[in-house]
Amino acid sequence: MELLVASAIGTMTAGGVYLMLRLRTFPVILGLALLSYAVNVFLFSSGRLSIDMSPILSKYGDASYSDPLPQALVLTAIVISFGMTAVLVMISLGAYLEADNDEIDIEPEITDEDSAT
Amino acid sequence: METTGNFLFIIALLPFVGALIPGLMIRAGRNATATFTAMPTAVALILLMTYAPAVLRGEVIQAEVAWLPQLGLSVSFFLDGLGLLFACMILGVGLLITLYARYYLSGEDPVGQFYTYLLLFQGAMLGIVISDNILLLLIFWELTSLSSFLLIGYWKHLPEGRQGARMALAVTGAGGLAMIGGMLILGNIAGSYNLTDILQAGDAIRASEWYMPALILILLGAFTKSAQFPFHFWLPHAMAAPTPVSAYLHSATMVKAGVFLMARMWPVLSGTDAWFYIVATTGLITMVMGALIALFKDDLKALLAFSTVSHLGLLTMLLGFGTEAAAVAAVFHIINHLTFKAALFMTAGIVDHETHTRDIKRLGGLRHLMPITFLIGTIAALSMAGIPLFNGFLSKEMMLEEASHTGWAGSQYAVPVLATIGALLSVAYSFRFIFHVFFGPVRDDYPAKPHDPPFGLWAAPALLVVLVVLIGVMPFIADTVVASAASAVTGADLDPHLKIWHGVTPALFMSIIAVVGGALLLMLHRPLDRVWRAAPRPEAKEIFDNLVAGCVSLTRRITEATHNGAISRYLAIFTVASVLLGGVAFMGGGLAEPTRELLPIPAVIAVGWVMLVVATGCVVVMHHHRFRALVLIGIIGLSISSGFVYLSAPDLALTQISVETVTIMLLLLALHFLPKTTPKVSSTGLKLRDGIIAGAAGLGVGALSFAFMQRDISTISSYHLANSYEGGGGTNVVNVILVDFRGYDTFGEIIVLGIAGLLIYALMQALLDGTSAQRLRNTDYSQDRSKDRHPLMMVVATRVLMPIALLVGTFIFLRGHNQPGGGFVAGLVVAIALLMQYMASGFAWTQARQRIEYHTMIGFGVLIAGLTGVGSWVFGKPFLTSAFTYVHLPLIEEFELATAMLFDLGVFLTVLGAVMLMLYSLSRIARYAGETVNVEPMDYDPANRVDNGPEAR
Amino acid sequence: MIEAALTFTAACYGLALLLDLWRIVLGPHAADRILALDTMVINVIALLVLYGVWRGTAIYFEAAMLVAMVGFVSTVAYCRFLLRGDIIE
Amino acid sequence: MLTRLIPHPLLSILLVFVWLGLVNKLTLGNLILGGFFGLVIPMLTAPYWPGRPKLSKPINVLGYVLIVLWDIVVANVQVALIILFRSNPNIRSQWVVVPLELTSAEAITVLAGTITMTPGTVSATLAADGGSILVHCLHTDDPDAVRDEIKTRYERRLKEIFQ
Amino acid sequence: MSHWIILPVILPALFAPLLGFVMRHDIVLARATSVFATALLLAVSVGLVVMAADGTTHIYRLGDWPAPFGIGLVLDRLSAVMVLLTSSLAFLVLLHAIATGWDEKGRHFHALFQFQLMGICGAFLTGDVFNLFVFFEVLLIASYGLMIHSGGRERMRAGLQYVVMNLAGSTLFLFALGTLYASTGTLNIADLAAKIPAIPEEEAALVRVAAMLLMIVFAVKAALFPVQFWLPATYANAPAPVAALFAIMTKVGAYAILRVHTVVFGPGVPGTEGMIDAWLFPAAIVTIALGAFGVLGARRLMPLISFSVIGSMGTLLVAVAVFTPSATTAALYYMVHSTFAAACLFLVADLVVTRRDGDSLRPRPKTVQNGLFAALFFGAVIAMAGMPPLSGFLGKLLVLNSLRQPDVMVWAWTAILAGSLITIVGFARAGSALFWKSTAIDPPEPGAADAPGPDEVLSRNATPAEVAPAVLALAALAGLAVFAGPVAEYLEQTANQLFDRAGYIAAVLPAAGGS
Amino acid sequence: MNLIFEIFISGALVVSGIFGFVGSYGLVKLTGTLQRLHAPTKATTLGVGGVLVASMLYFYATTGHVSVHEILIAVFLLLTAPIIANFIAKTYMVRNLRASDLPKSQSRKGWALYDEPPEP
Ligand code: NA
Ligand code: NA
């Protein structure tokens, strides 16, 4: 199971990084989204894996539970990355509408006058 | 021997305080500003004079206050003979320059600015010569560079002024920075930055392995400032400054700072071969070369500038000799050079002022038209030439005397011969100054009709030439001053006797050769000038300009190649750095033995894994089809959520799936306005590169997680599990952590969401106010569309589904503290419920029916969460301390009330408000792009059908 | 017996998911992908309930409920995007 | 007044049941809470559901539901057999146009839903004026029979319920 | 436990929603409230500095949960200084933004501004690494909003890059935190500091990775090579007051390195000993070089200033990288100085650029008040370039003086001194072009084809209120120089306190050993 | 748990599994999007339905309480599935079929996809 999770994290990270390095905004957004999935699972896995041990306290005292703290951290991280993604989407839309171009790299504009100085 | 002198603070401070006044007197005339400039100078000079007797007796005046003890920097001044001599020169000449400039500058120039800069410069110079702390000295040193930059660039509209100023700043600034290094090393060796301590530590310093670096660095500072070869080239270009500036900077002050420093450091640094060969040689070369160039300069000020370079070389050479006699000669020549050179600059200024030219070739015959100027100029020039009865002769003789018995690398003749040549050239250009300007026939083509200037303009040089003659005739009057200064330089108790006649010495013959040879050379000037002009020689300014231009273009190329706006490359570098450094870090340590047994892999879970991996791969491969990629992302989200369920994280599953849905909604909304496909522009090489980087990152992260998942560790969360119910009042530990143990994180998190909402709203407004609005209006987004906007079935279904979804949201909110759920998921569920309604009947239609201010909702959310936290202050508890109780009401089962739920309500409202505000913003954009708002909830209500009968169309 | 039935059913749904995946990847039409994704959602809901039975806990019920809800909304959104461009016009 | 307070009584009742389903525990407290939400939520969402559909014979609803459930089971098996055992070329799909007499949006929606939920038929789209419904039939040799069955088995009943 | 400690977070957090949601239609009210809130923050932070002055490490246990289980705020001298630095800078920037009307050019400036302050103060005060992440995100998202404030093509595109870069950084932050938690089981800085030294080198691989990744994360914020590329475009395209406020943002990265890599992974920790310095130092050296090159090579004023910020961060981090109390003292002094210097430059530049046809260094006619602007620019530049008499020179000397170890001295001194020279030359060229060369150019004929429109370029004099913030910043720099002794003493104690790991742990964790 | 329950539960599960599988199998096997659209309805109805029935029986058998929240999921899916199918069908049609490919509507207006709604 651990291998599956680790390889899933790795795959999503690889996919995310690859897309993040693309030249248009949309794939970059997708890449960052993939990366945030990957990192959320990564963070979650830092509490180690366990099955059927949800950290919901039961009335029977001897139950054991999975580590709740990473879960709480991941929740926070998910929410934050949601906000960030939303902002990213909007800014990329704004940049596209302003520039009529969704390339993410900015070619420096050098005028003749600039070259002269 | 040491006396405390608190006046030193006042003396040092006066010019700076005084500098404020002229700068503020923008409207005042020249007289007023000049007066206010002269006053602090004069007061400082008077205060200085009160110490003169004591200093000349050999006492050292000291004053110190702490400034930055952590650094060893204190505001400490000391005044010994050398300091006194220089301080007098700086203030005295400063006064004369103030007077001279009053008449020299025109009323149109910003005179206030000029005097401010002048006083700043004066203060900086004064600081250098009386600092007892070398760090303080460095401060003043850099200040001279800065203030001279302003002075040289005073006529800012002239390119020469700007370039000269920049060049001076670059060269002297570079030297200053080198000197910082050298001084810090000195201080390090001596264990103190106090000059008096350092001067005691000469032996230790010379013995240190750091002596050479320190020496070179400090000399770099001195040589650049004093325009020694090969750094001499900035000085002539500084002549673009108004003449008073040149007279001040290049006779008495700025360029002498380097000489002063060498003199100051003489007891510490001199006496080694390195010192002799570096300093004396540099001085010698500079002297000869400066003089040679001066001879062929037609610009009066340029001639004087190179003569200054030459004389500075002379001084440097003398200090480089390292003997006490040479030091005495140097000190004496400093005085003499000051007097005649300042007078000469002022004379040149007068000529320029009156004739409107400084070009020697256009001058001549002025002795009849400007007799006073002629007299002053001639006396000063004769002194410069080293003609007896003028002070220049005396110190030149001493110099030649020292040179005559100085050997250089085994040669007995090198130094004397070159020194004589230097003197000879000096005579030649001095005579040229006299003869080519004042003698010869009166011309009728001067750019302006020359006559002697008003008294105010010639008073200052006149005073100086009086000194030239007085010292020249009665050298003993300078005895005390020279003795005291020279003693200070050498650290020995010297008592030199200055006299005109030294007997028949080698120096006398060398002097005679120089005068005769110089006169002959001047006669040959015309042919020699032609040769000079034809000869190829390196033009220092050109070299410097090319150097700077080269540096600029190189740095520009580096900068623009590295910061080329390609974020994709920045990110690649970032990723590579992370992977590499992470790998390096990992390799540097070991791993404990694995302690956990791996969990089994059920087949269905393996299927989930396949879904996730295949979907990820497909997103990468198919990302050019943007919509398709979004569908595939849906699979990934679904797989992860299911995985969370399987791996005991129900809260995560709920959050993940709802966040993902809302995210996809936003992406779809944005994609509507974006291109629907991504062009395939990446080259195979780029893809390969990115593939390798991505693979490495994936491998690294995967391996890392695999490494820790195999190893157990004790964590702090056992506390959370143990205290969640007792202390936090909830059985859902994750939720209790979120709203209680780490409620502060959650507080930050909802603020992030609130800001996101605000930001998106602000961004939308900015877009609609800007050029985007035009683009939105002009683009047709409605191609190939279905004609039914608000299909009947969807509208009707939503009428039932939306209330149910709202109820589910409420349910999830209420139970979150004890079961999976909570404010955040509830907020999203409610948002999704509303989204259903929007998708059915449109945002605007829905919005029009229920005016909910989403701004307000976010605000309330944040405020409720914040105030819930603040509320605990009332009970003397820290922020976000929770309280809970179980309530029993008749007929109803026991239920819990917790402040944490109020906090969660804040979370709920913020989430809901933020998502809605985002949707609202996107919907605004869409309406701007030409969407119309429907008036009915559905496209057509069949109840309105007129004819119900079937009728073929 | 229940154990065996659970395994059988889980296997059925596992295979079903793979088939859905196959359809999503191959398409060919966008509608096919949306359809297959929606089917995937339905299958996951079934698996979640199944898991709850297997583990004897109702804790995963909310997850199933929520998946059903968001599955609906997102499928409609995908379709509306292709139909109208703006999903909340 | 009562209409303002309880705009859609059936919806309110539905919500009470949904609430009980959600908490999965029948207690007085839950009933009260469910009743509260059943009142409040329809009030809040009333603007989005203008008008109240007329239900003349609510009892018939139960009959209709049972019929549909039964049809679902039967048709599921039929279609499963088609999928599993009929080769693709032998599956003959047809369009069926069903002209509608229903005029209530709710009724049309229920009909279209029914058509879709009973496997073998999918309601693909309505006419722009809601006057007929386009049904895609997975496998049939007689489209008219399909149309007639829809009209008699479902539309007729719905007409009774909604008028 | 004093509630004062949390006020720097709570005050802006409560004022911001009021500004953003209640007062969003009334700019006058919003301005007054924003100024009031910031002044209040300033007063509180002065109080905190006084409170921390006695050397006590104060802890504020949020939710009344004991450390390390809840989140604790930690007020020591370092956090107090940083908060004061933030609030005083913010006050100046806010005044400038209001006086110049920048706040009106887009929506929600004041709310975003307060949120920004909240995030920064929160990051400085927290004693928990995950909470540090949360407040990094708060300050980042607010900064995105401020960065693209008022929109425009270039700004939007640069803003997009800024967001993308930081999202990548945040992702790495989470990877680092996951690794850290996985290897230590805790998130509290003091608890980490207590636990990590116990990990032997043979088992330290994971902790080392966490330390390294965290360094890269902070390096992104601090604009350290090779992750500095984002900065020039961001700062150059941000609204000038925002760029001025961002002067503190890079310091957040430097602060985080100081806090985490000194207290948690600092000297004497067997697992990570020597690892961070080995990379941080050369990176900082290259950063200085890149900053200096950028200053000399820049074609425009705003990028030029931005590169000088990079250079100053290099200098700062060179001092941080040796992890000694004396170098840290120097670093702290330089940090305070460079924050004001950078802000001052941006504020002055704003006054000039808005009166000029953009920030190009190409020949343009001089603006109104050329002399005044030139003087202000000159002052700001000598501060930034580390020339006397302002604090930059002292800061530079302190840094040089503290880097005496033979292995670092030659590199550090060469880089800092040569960097200074190049910077000075670059600034001199720019200033000469802006304020001197312009005096030789005739103003364009009104109505000429390329004459800028009247609403794009201001032609009016700067009001005293517009000039005041820049002057105040210069005054702050001068004050920093004049009172360098007391300031450095406070900072020296600050550095000593920072290196007193045991003291920190004892103050934060109730019982020695903590959990 | 008594055998009757076990048998019923197992039966429901097996039915569910079969129909769930058939739904996805049809999705792969059938040709044409519109044909494929028919397949998943099985997974929705009898597939999920079977599991839900099994779950209700199981919890009743183990705890003695009647668990009704499974019905909620069922109701929700029954309400939404037709809408989804309708949307997907339209999505396919609008991109791949023209109005002329379809039989004519038997009312005043054409199919909603291709024809504007009547003026109210
Ligand atoms: Na609580
Ligand atoms: Na059907």
Q: What is the mean pLDDT of residues B645-655?
A: 92
List, for residues B776-803, the tens digit of each pLDDT value: 888 888 777 888 888 889 999 999 999 9
Distance CA C62, CA B443 (A): 108
Residue whose tokens read 């309330």: B860
Distance CA B486, CA B755 (A): 72
**Interface membership of F15 toward D (CB under 8 Å):** no
Q: In the predicted model, is pLDDT for residue E515 greater than 50?
A: no
Distance CA B472, CA B489 (A): 23
E–B touching, 3+ CB–CB pairs within 8 Å: yes
User: What confidence category does residue B156 fall into, taking pLDDT thresholds of 50, 70 and 90?
Assistant: confident
Higher pLDDT, E371 or E502: E502
pLDDT at site B640: 95
Q: Does residue E225 contact residue E91 with C-beta atoms inside 8 Å?
A: no
Q: What is the mean pLDDT of residues B220-235?
A: 91
The kind and range of the H/E element at E59 are strand E58-61
Interface test with A, best of C50, C54, C57 (most A CBs within 10 A): C57
Distance CA E230, CA E157 (A): 12
Q: What is the mean pLDDT of residues B377-406?
A: 91
pLDDT at site E444: 64
User: What confidence category does residue F66 fall into, taking pLDDT thresholds of 50, 70 and 90?
Assistant: confident
List, for residues B456-491, the tens digit of each pLDDT value: 889 999 999 999 999 999 988 888 889 999 999 988
pLDDT at site E454: 40
Number of helices (H) and strands (E) in chain B: give both, helices first.
Answer: 40, 5
Minimal-distance CA residue of chain D relative to C65: D22
Interface of E with B in 311-350 (CB under 8 A): 326, 329
Q: What is the pTM of this model?
A: 0.94
pLDDT at site E475: 96
pLDDT at site E90: 97
The SS3 assignment for B4 reads strand
DSSP B677: B
Q: In the predicted model, is pLDDT for residue E494 greater than 70?
A: yes
Count of CB atoms within 10 A of residue E447's CB?
6
Ligand 2 (ion): which residues have CB within 5 A? D 116, 119, 121-122; F 41
Q: Does residue B562 contact residue E231 with C-beta atoms inside 8 Å?
A: no
Q: In the predicted model, is pLDDT for residue B500 greater than 60?
A: yes
Minimal-distance CA residue of chain B relative to F83: B794
DSSP F43: I
Q: What is the mean pLDDT of residues B909-921?
A: 91
The SS3 assignment for D97 reads strand
DSSP B952: -
pLDDT at site E283: 96
Q: What is the mean pLDDT of residues B872-883?
A: 86
Angle between helix axes B899-928 and B792-815 (nearest 10 degrees) is 150
One-letter amino acid of E127: G
Q: What is the mean pLDDT of residues B18-26?
A: 81
pLDDT at site B381: 94
Q: In the predicted model, is pLDDT for residue A112 greater than 70?
A: no
List, for residues E345-383, the tens digit of each pLDDT value: 999 999 999 988 788 888 888 888 888 999 999 999 999
Q: Which two tokens stand for residue A83?
A: 């906000």
User: What confidence category does residue B947 fall into, taking pLDDT thresholds of 50, 70 and 90?
Assistant: low
Distances (CA, A) of D83 to B724, C27, D1, F31: 53, 19, 54, 11
List, for residues C34-76, the tens digit of each pLDDT value: 999 999 999 999 999 999 888 888 888 888 999 999 999 999 9
| Contact: D45, B846; criterion CB under 8 Å | no
Q: Does residue A10 contact residue B702 with C-beta atoms inside 8 Å?
A: yes
Q: In the predicted model, is pLDDT for residue B25 greater than 80?
A: no
Helices (H), B647-742: 650-671, 684-709, 717-728, 733-736
Residue whose tokens read 């742990």: E505
List, for residues E422-477, the tens digit of each pLDDT value: 999 999 999 999 998 888 887 766 555 454 444 467 888 889 999 999 999 999 99
Looking at beta carbons, which residues of chain B come within 8 Å of D44?
806, 850
List, for residues E36-56, the tens digit of each pLDDT value: 999 999 999 999 999 999 999
Closest CA to E45 of E1, E77, E92, E93: E77
Looking at beta carbons, which residues of chain F come within 8 Å of C11?
17
| Contact: B941, D105; criterion CB under 8 Å | yes
pLDDT at site E453: 43
Minimal Cβ distance to D106: which of B796, B806, B837: B796
State the chains in contact with A (3 or more Cβ–Cβ pairs under 8 Å).
B, C, E
Minimal Cβ distance to E135: which of B156, B748, B873: B748
Interface test with F, best of C34, C53, C81, C87 (most F CBs within 10 A): C53
Percent helix, strand, coil in chain A, to 5, is 65, 5, 30
Ligand 1 (ion): which residues have CB within 5 A? B 728-729, 740, 882, 884, 898, 900
pLDDT mean across residues, chain B: 90
| Contact: B786, F105; criterion CB under 8 Å | no
| Contact: A98, E170; criterion CB under 8 Å | no
Looking at beta carbons, which residues of chain F come within 8 Å of B945?
107
Closest-approaching ligand to the CA atom of B737: 1
Q: Which two tokens stand for residue E89?
A: 């800078």
User: What confidence category does residue E21 fall into, taking pLDDT thresholds of 50, 70 and 90?
Assistant: confident
The SS3 assignment for B64 reads strand
Residue whose tokens read 């140097």: B330
B335 contact partners, CB below 8 Å, separation of at least 6: B85, B89, B391, B395, B471, B478, B481, B482
Distance CA B644, CA B702 (A): 18
Distance CA C16, CA C43 (A): 7
Q: What is the mean pLDDT of residues E245-265?
A: 95
The SS3 assignment for A24 reads strand
F–E touching, 3+ CB–CB pairs within 8 Å: no
Minimal-distance CA residue of chain A relative to C51: A52
pLDDT at site D60: 83
List, for residues B232-283, the tens digit of each pLDDT value: 889 888 888 888 888 888 877 888 899 999 999 999 999 899 999 999 999 9
B471 contact partners, CB below 8 Å, separation of at least 6: B335, B336, B339, B391, B394, B477, B478
Written as one string, the DSSP assignment of B336-395 is HHHHHHHHHHHHHHHHHHHHS--BGGG---HHHH-HHHHHHHHHHHHHHHT-TTSHHHHH
User: What confidence category does residue B886 fall into, taking pLDDT thresholds of 50, 70 and 90?
Assistant: confident
Looking at beta carbons, which residues of chain B come within 8 Å of E400?
180-181, 184
**In angstroms, what separates the C-alpha of A32 from chain C's closest C-alpha?**
20
pLDDT at site E452: 45
Q: What is the mean pLDDT of residues B946-951?
A: 50
pLDDT mean across residues, chain E: 92
Minimal Cβ distance to B893: which of D27, D105, D106: D27
pLDDT at site B930: 80
Looking at beta carbons, which residues of chain D come within 8 Å of F78?
113, 117
pLDDT at site B951: 43
User: What confidence category does residue D1 fall into, taking pLDDT thresholds of 50, 70 and 90?
Assistant: low
User: What confidence category does residue D2 fall into, taking pLDDT thresholds of 50, 70 and 90?
Assistant: low
**Interface membership of B706 toward E (CB under 8 Å):** no
List, for residues A15-61, the tens digit of each pLDDT value: 999 999 999 999 999 999 999 999 999 999 999 999 888 888 887 66
Residue whose tokens read 């995105």: E144
E54 contact partners, CB below 8 Å, separation of at least 6: none
SS (H, E, C) B567-636: HHHHHHHHHHHHHHHHHHHHHCCCCCCCCCCCCCCCHHHHHHHHHHHHHHHHHHHHCCEHHHHHHHHHHH
A110 contact partners, CB below 8 Å, separation of at least 6: E299
